[in-house]
Structure 1
Amino acid sequence: MRTGRVAGMAKWGATALVGLALLAGAALAVYALRTLAPLDGRLAVAGLAQPVQVRRDAADVTHIAARSPQDLWRALGHVHAQERSWQLEFNRRVMHGTLSEVLGPATLETDKLMRALDIRGAAQRQYAGLPPQAREALQAYSQGIAAFHAARPQALTPEFLLLGVTPGRDGGRDGAPWSPEDSVGWALMMALDLGGNWGNEFARLSLLRTLDTERLWQLMPPYPGEPPATATDLAALYRGLGVYARDDAAATPVAAASKGLQGLAGAIDQARSDWAQALAQEAGSNDGKGSNNWVLAGARSASGKPLLANDPHLGLSAPAIWYYAHLQAPAGPAADGSTIGAIDVIGATLPGLPFVVLGRTARVAWGFTNTSPDVQDLYLEQIDAQDATRYRTPQGWAPFEVREEVIRIKGQADLQLQLRATRHGPVLSDVQASHGQVLDLSKYVLALRWSALDADNQTVLAGLQANQAQNVAELQQAFRHYHSPMQSIVMADVDGAMAFQAAGRVPLRHPDNDLRGVAPAPGWEARYDWQGWLDHDQAPQDDGAQRGWIATANQRITAPGYAHFLTQDWHLPYRYERIAQLLEARPLHDLDSLAAIQNDVTSLATQRLLPALRTAAAQAGHPLAVQAAQLLLDFDGRMDAQHSAPLVFAAWADELARGLIVPRIGSARFAATYGKRDFRAAVEGILARDDAWWCAPHTCAEQSALALVRALDRLQAAYGAQPAQWRWGRAHPAESRHRPLGSVAALARFFNVQTPSSGDAYTVNVGQYNAGDVAGGAFVNRHAASLRGLYDLADLESSRFIFQTGQSGNVFSPRYADMRDAWAAGQYRPLQREPAQWRHQLLLEPGG
């Protein structure tokens, strides 16, 4: 009887558990359905003056047709909020420096950096200086976001629930889910991501503590074929000034608060820390942040009209940075009585901005790459030994500007943060712990001069006006307002015109400025102050008449003898050279041939080092060396995901860089710089010179063979003892990581979007990895083509696009990652203003 009762209770308990699991699953399913954005039917939206059609075509491009520009911008804000609410919320908190309010102390260093840069304050000043039409557009857009949150037709996505975040409750800073100034701020954040080189300056300062100036330029060489931009003995300069701390300070444990936490909560907290540290470390560096674009004249096109291609390379994220939309509205009156021009534009929008950033109108198309001029200078500011509230200027000692910031920290007391600024800009040493590990902060601090923070930055105005352009000349006029970050823009129109223009603000430096911005300058010497700005018409430009095509891939874009210094930190020209090879390989091109170029994975950089690897394979004393040598016989530098030779090469190149450089600069300094810089140019130079100093205590050939031994050991441990079965794509998946939940092991497989990928940092189809991030995956592709766009000006309705995830930012949506496989396979979707059919139709109506 008792046994039966126990068995019955056990059976009942098991049934109850199954029932609870089913109920939980059903509740989750109901919740997931409630989070999906309504794509059909009708929705009342407060603030609209008239109904707006929101239709989605078979390519999942969102077409928004309004009866006025104001309603168009409101509707776009509403759609962005529908599809990308978490992305907007997270990005807003990043630029406001209020992550810690909801994510805890793990993100404190990021918040401190954003507060020091004062992104929010700069955005407010820039917004105030915009013309009325631009302010009206940003206001209407933010009204659309606010209308969505005031009467949400769907449940918030799971990030809000898991992290306990309420949209718009942002430290009491304004309380709205998005403000007009936030759009300006997000343009500034893009400038921070793309326009920074202060990291290079600080890296040089740090490395010069160990290296002399000649060795520094061997480790961080100038552009191929050119001398360093400065002939100054930098090591002697900094030693003479006594800038360095006596001993390396211990690294500040940013994530200390998260240690010891268990379970999902602890994993989420650690993920916050991982993301925050990555952002803080990457700020101020644009190494590897490149893109490709090119345009061909009608004489080089099978259609007889220009062809244009663009694939901007950005950090991969889920959801993607882009949202594709077609924006359409007739001309209409502005609030100030002027007339807003008609809008009919299709392409990539950035959630947070009310216009198409990259794309086309009915008659003209354009594409961006990063010009990467030096628009950030670090200044050594000398502290008055008698009064630490003062710093040295050309006119004598002056007080630091000081402001107080309060950072709210979840689970902890508020942080009272005192931030200083000098006549050059914010003091970064107050918020970046790495500076205290290098500098003697009792004598010197580092201040930043950055053009993007200036009040006259009207980049958003350029974007709004470009959406109304109908030819190359009108685009060029719109981009005269472009400020930061400078972009290399190619453009073409249906009348056959094409052009290249570098648009944006670049400082002029004094003729006596011997440092030219490549390393921190003494802030008390007036010759290092900027002397004004390069005139827009003096910036690099080209009409393409000479060759019939124009291409940019972050290489040097200035012709020999160009009168103005832009930077020495151009990217190595491998991608540009490969594009040029392929463009010249045939007399006429079409969209298919342009697609093949965008997806090309031949690495000229790999080809350059292949002879050294083959020699190493013949000399390495490793059981797998013979098999590795066999794999390399037919390897031509194609970094194909399905092949094993690219993986052997990548592992060898990584180990070789470590073996050559770590003994000379130390493991800590190497870890602080490697990854953001792969030192490929340094390795090439060392091998080409057969440099005994860098290769000691071995010969360079011996170092190469030893590096292959280490690489094969590493690959064997990870992938087994059959090199023919290794695959580059397995080690090199393209990973679009969710912020911050993509770092949580239990959630990553749901929130991250991953697929095997080809390429490396030097292929046209780029696949950049951070070899320094061994724990996170040394060869994981985290920086690639964030979109691909192709345009034939003979038939703009044949335009194509793709990006790496999907339109929806909701992990429960089937549209969250539905472009992934096509993107990896080099396929495209049509980009049409007038598609043949609609997959979804939604009518937004006034009300709410």
Structure 2
Amino acid sequence: MKWIARILLVAVVALLAAGGALSVHLLRGMPQLDGETSLKGLSGPVQITRDASDVTHINARNALDAWRAIGFVHAQERGWQMAFNRRVMRGELSEILGKATLDTDKLMRTLGIIGMAQQQLKGLSPATQAALQAYSEGIQTAWQSGAVRPSPEFKVLGTQASGADGQTWTPEDSVGWALMMALDLGGNWGQEFARLSAGQILNNKQLWQLLPAYPGEKPATAVDLPGLYARLGVYAATAAKAAQMPAAASPLAQWSADWVRDMGILEGKGSNNWVVPGSRTVSGKPLLANDPHLALSSPAIWYYAHLQAPAGELPGGHKHPALDVIGATLPGLPFVVLGRTQGVAWGFTNTGPDVQDLYLEQLDAAKPGQYRTPEGWAAFAERSETIRVKGQADVALKVRSTRHGPVISDVQPQYQGLLDASRYAVSLRWSALTPDNKTIEAGMQANWAQTVPQLQDAFAEHHAPMQSVVMADTLGQVAYKAVGKVPTRSASNDIRGVAPSPGWLAQYDWTGWLPYAQNPAVDAAQIEKKGWHATANQNILPPGYAHFVGGDWTTPERFDRIEQLLAATPRHSLQSMQTIQNDVLSLGAKTLQAKLGQVSSQHPLAPAALKLLAGFDGQMRTDSAAALVLNVWADELTRGLLVPHLGAERFQALYGKRHFRAAVEGMLDRADAFWCGPAGCPAQVSSALDRALDRIAASQGRDVSAWRWGAWHPAISSHKPFGKVPYLNALFDVRVESAGDLFTVNVGQYWANDKQAPFANRHAASMRAVYDLSETGQSVFIYQTGQSGHAFDPRSRDMARQWAQGAYRALQQQPTAVLHRMTLRP
């Protein structure tokens, strides 16, 4: 037995040695928070401190040094995140991940994000170009000097921080990343495809029942869309089988396919913001709240920082005041995107205008390579792309473009089997893909602003994505303005961009841009009269507004609840604003709850479940059994009503990030015989409840009172790409039980078509912030992971539980405590 003991001893020693080596490696990859290091290009020392909230404060001798230093900090804290994002937008993921991500790479190459970024960069002012150059140099130098070491992802995948071009980050990457944010929030591209797909098997009336207009409004177009597409012969001859993403061979391939499919879907891509003037606050000065709703990721999309530098002059003769701005930065950009200066604060929500149009491009059967235009036949613009693929030969891609933009049907697999590719292609016109896009310029100018008027002037350069901005300053001024470019369409454009339009007819072309001065706005007097102004992605157009902006607004449940809560308190405080942000009463759940009168169930658990639901207060708390039953029942009801008509494949392709709740409510209200089938709607409601009870009991047992919403609704901040890799996701994802649902102010959107965790919270408040503009006011913030992007650093997830519990951290421009201090020297 001695030899067994010796072998075990050797094994333990080897394991400890390996663990020690691994620990040393992991520690070497951690960001340096204290001491000194050098950074090439600085004109003088830069002080970097981290306060008790772990906010990074950068104090530099000039603005260029501040931007160079935030580049260094982003590199050390979020190196992998930036390297991955750079590969995404350049279409270079497959170089390190293999063929699983080819769909993503093909789409990004076709959109031409980096090519357009190069054009847009040339149009920026010398000052802004200098800022982006300083930032990228800070990143490059951080890696090249060895001051920043690779985090575990680089080792696991055997890759480096630099891309195929040997660069870790360039100014064009910053412009490209701004375009990627616009792509994520871009508009109705996905809705247009949904109407095209559903129009294959539904008539026009049924189509608008499935995808109804905004409450109280008519459909944006009176055109019979299915009839139009049938007359044109748009659909493939084998189209009885719905267009569906091909089966993915791996979790990474599924992620890639889902990402490509879901580009442009608007539902849930929202936010909340509101501003309360001093006349309605305890302090007598304005309060402003903002919580952008984005897909949860680990690390988070945001990084909180404070940039300080004295007044000075930048290249091009741009003289600027002192820089003193704090808030949420995006790794990839040197500016504070959401936050405040000493004088003014601002918050964004997605406006959701129609800034993306799909066009049916008719192909010339006699001459391949040509498409029809108002002037006759024209050749596609073509370019060749080569995609490097790990483990196999390079893939050659021919990218086609028309006068409208890139041909996306060539690279989005959902068009296969739906579109007759011998007769038509589908191209994309998108407001962000124009050389004169100066969104980056607006970002820099906003960081200098001290008053509401100055902020409004800065955002005049904002192009895409269009955002609803609430603003407040220390002088007491408040305002709302929708900022960004909206295309104008002619009166003869009867489709109005809500579905793919015939690309050869000039009536469907854009005619120009809506002037900034005519964008929706609300002035201080109007806000004072009401007592607040709020947006939550609802229809923001005032009565009688003269311009068509879009029709795919988010339904108004969140907005209505915010309005209720703002009206309920005569004078608001920092605390009351936080309470509203964390509210989990679901008006959507209350609406559906009223349909339970149709239930007639013999299920043994039904009496207990119905008793719970009858007394349900609509609060989507983690410990609520009723919240769980209602959400699972809603999912089963949606499937029962829609799958028989759409088919399982088409339903799966359209469901998930599109919830169809308004459609379901309409079907039940009308007792719709078509959708509910021969047995009627009460039978659908009852059988859906039975299926839901069986489904929950199989996982949480048969004691209904012990069921918990939070057990099926964890907020999962998913790592890219390891969030899709079994075992690794347990190490790299951040998970915490969460409250809320699709319609709560504290939103918790789930993707019900997900096979592994259909009710997990995937899309929620990516951060929460409240700004107090009083002299002694303290702003607060929180987000769902942590500042560090190193998965084994406790700082990578130390905000998660606070975020889920509705707590906040102080956001101080003059912090009361400093926990870490570092100096960057030239």
TM over 0.5: yes
**Aligned 1:792-803 pairs, distance under 5 A:** 792-795=772-775, 797-803=777-783
The 1:762–1:795 alpha-carbon spacing in structure 2 relative to 1, beyond 3 Å, is farther
CA deviation string 1:182-227 (max 9, x = no partner) = 0000000000001131111011011011000000000000000111
**Residue 394 (structure 2) aligns with:** 414
Q: Which amino acid aligns with 1:62?
A: T
In 2, the alpha carbon distance for the partners of 1:328 and 1:107 equals 40
CA displacement at 1:614 relative to structure 2? 5.0
Aligned partner of residue 629 in structure 2, secondary structure: helix
Is 1:601 the counterpart of 2:592? The answer is no
Q: Which amino acid aligns with 1:451?
A: S
Aligned partner of residue 621 in structure 2, secondary structure: coil
Aligned partner of residue 369 in structure 2, secondary structure: strand
In 1, the alpha carbon distance for the partners of 2:690 and 2:45 equals 68
The 1:107–1:251 alpha-carbon spacing in structure 2 relative to 1, beyond 3 Å, is farther
The 1:724–1:110 alpha-carbon spacing in structure 2 relative to 1, beyond 3 Å, is same
In 1, the alpha carbon distance for the partners of 2:52 and 2:748 equals 29
**Residue 156 (structure 1) aligns with:** 150
CA deviation string 1:619-645 (max 9, x = no partner) = 111010011012123211111111110
Is 1:755 the counterpart of 2:736? The answer is yes
The 1:78–1:242 alpha-carbon spacing in structure 2 relative to 1, beyond 3 Å, is same
Give 5+ residue unaligned stretches, structure 1.
1-6, 260-269
**Residue 131 (structure 2) aligns with:** 137
Aligned partner of residue 387 in structure 1, secondary structure: coil
**Residue 193 (structure 1) aligns with:** 184
In 1, the alpha carbon distance for the partners of 2:213 and 2:72 equals 47
**Residue 716 (structure 1) aligns with:** 697
TM-score of the pair, normalised by structure 2: 0.98
**Residue 746 (structure 2) aligns with:** 765
**Residue 633 (structure 2) aligns with:** 652
**Residue 353 (structure 2) aligns with:** 373
CA deviation string 1:518-556 (max 9, x = no partner) = 100000000000000001010100021330210000000
CA deviation string 1:44-92 (max 9, x = no partner) = 1111111100000000000000001110000000000000000000000
**Aligned 1:443-522 pairs, distance under 5 A:** 443-522=423-502
| Residue pair 1:797, 1:831 contacting (<8 A) in 2 also | no
**Residue 613 (structure 2) aligns with:** 632
Q: Which amino acid aligns with 2:343?
A: R
| Residue pair 2:243, 2:650 contacting (<8 A) in 1 also | no
CA displacement at 1:299 relative to structure 2? 0.8
Q: Which amino acid aligns with 2:535?
A: T
With 178-187 and 544-553 compared, the bigger mean Cα shift is at: 544-553
In 2, the alpha carbon distance for the partners of 1:551 and 1:48 equals 43
In 1, the alpha carbon distance for the partners of 2:209 and 2:52 equals 53
Is 1:108 the counterpart of 2:91? The answer is no
Aligned partner of residue 545 in structure 1, secondary structure: helix
In 2, the alpha carbon distance for the partners of 1:412 and 1:822 equals 45
**Residue 55 (structure 2) aligns with:** 61
| Residue pair 1:34, 1:154 contacting (<8 A) in 2 also | no
CA displacement at 1:346 relative to structure 2? 0.3
CA displacement at 1:154 relative to structure 2? 4.5
Is 1:245 the counterpart of 2:236? The answer is yes
| Residue pair 1:271, 1:740 contacting (<8 A) in 2 also | no
Q: Choose from 363, 366, 382 the match for 2:362.
A: 382
**Residue 267 (structure 1) aligns with:** none
The 1:610–1:254 alpha-carbon spacing in structure 2 relative to 1, beyond 3 Å, is closer
**Aligned 1:330-729 pairs, distance under 5 A:** 330-543=310-523, 544-613=527-596, 615-616=598-599, 619-729=600-710
**Aligned 1:242-321 pairs, distance under 5 A:** 242-248=233-239, 259=249, 270-321=250-301
**Residue 90 (structure 1) aligns with:** 84
**Residue 4 (structure 1) aligns with:** none
CA displacement at 1:651 relative to structure 2? 0.6
In 2, the alpha carbon distance for the partners of 1:789 and 1:429 equals 40
Give 5+ residue unaligned stretches, structure 2.
none
The 1:464–1:358 alpha-carbon spacing in structure 2 relative to 1, beyond 3 Å, is same
In 1, the alpha carbon distance for the partners of 2:578 and 2:412 equals 43
| Residue pair 2:76, 2:149 contacting (<8 A) in 1 also | no
CA deviation string 1:640-666 (max 9, x = no partner) = 111110000001100101111111111
Q: Which amino acid aligns with 1:766?
A: V
CA deviation string 1:733-765 (max 9, x = no partner) = 000000111122211121110111110111000
The 1:329–1:371 alpha-carbon spacing in structure 2 relative to 1, beyond 3 Å, is same
Aligned partner of residue 511 in structure 2, secondary structure: strand
Q: Which amino acid aligns with 1:699?
A: G
CA displacement at 1:796 relative to structure 2? 6.3
| Residue pair 1:797, 1:833 contacting (<8 A) in 2 also | no
| Residue pair 1:196, 1:283 contacting (<8 A) in 2 also | no
The 1:523–1:656 alpha-carbon spacing in structure 2 relative to 1, beyond 3 Å, is same
In 2, the alpha carbon distance for the partners of 1:353 and 1:153 equals 20
In 1, the alpha carbon distance for the partners of 2:247 and 2:315 equals 49
In 2, the alpha carbon distance for the partners of 1:333 and 1:468 equals 13
CA displacement at 1:814 relative to structure 2? 1.1
Aligned partner of residue 87 in structure 1, secondary structure: helix
In 1, the alpha carbon distance for the partners of 2:595 and 2:316 equals 67
In 1, the alpha carbon distance for the partners of 2:247 and 2:40 equals 43
| Residue pair 1:614, 1:632 contacting (<8 A) in 2 also | no
With 160-169 and 465-474 compared, the bigger mean Cα shift is at: 160-169
| Residue pair 1:364, 1:472 contacting (<8 A) in 2 also | yes
| Residue pair 1:52, 1:66 contacting (<8 A) in 2 also | yes
Q: Which amino acid aligns with 1:679?
A: F
CA deviation string 1:409-436 (max 9, x = no partner) = 0111111110100000000011111112
CA displacement at 1:337 relative to structure 2? 3.4
In 2, the alpha carbon distance for the partners of 1:497 and 1:750 equals 47
Is 1:217 the counterpart of 2:217? The answer is no
CA displacement at 1:702 relative to structure 2? 1.2
Q: Which amino acid aligns with 1:558?
A: L
In 2, the alpha carbon distance for the partners of 1:841 and 1:797 equals 25
Aligned partner of residue 531 in structure 1, secondary structure: strand
CA displacement at 1:271 relative to structure 2? 3.9
CA deviation string 1:338-381 (max 9, x = no partner) = 32332100000000000000000001100000001000000000
**Residue 11 (structure 2) aligns with:** 17
| Residue pair 2:71, 2:135 contacting (<8 A) in 1 also | yes
Moved over 3 A (4+): 248-256
CA displacement at 1:165 relative to structure 2? 1.2
In 2, the alpha carbon distance for the partners of 1:579 and 1:83 equals 35
In 2, the alpha carbon distance for the partners of 1:837 and 1:255 equals 54
CA displacement at 1:729 relative to structure 2? 0.5
| Residue pair 2:59, 2:66 contacting (<8 A) in 1 also | yes
Is 1:128 the counterpart of 2:108? The answer is no
Q: Which amino acid aligns with 2:682?
A: A
| Residue pair 1:221, 1:228 contacting (<8 A) in 2 also | yes
CA displacement at 1:668 relative to structure 2? 1.0
In 2, the alpha carbon distance for the partners of 1:663 and 1:416 equals 40
In 1, the alpha carbon distance for the partners of 2:270 and 2:349 equals 7
Aligned partner of residue 782 in structure 1, secondary structure: strand
Q: Which amino acid aligns with 1:592?
A: Q
Is 1:830 the counterpart of 2:821? The answer is no
In 2, the alpha carbon distance for the partners of 1:726 and 1:683 equals 25
CA displacement at 1:275 relative to structure 2? 2.5
CA displacement at 1:169 relative to structure 2? 2.7
Aligned partner of residue 228 in structure 1, secondary structure: coil
Aligned partner of residue 746 in structure 2, secondary structure: coil
Aligned partner of residue 631 in structure 2, secondary structure: helix
Aligned partner of residue 104 in structure 1, secondary structure: helix
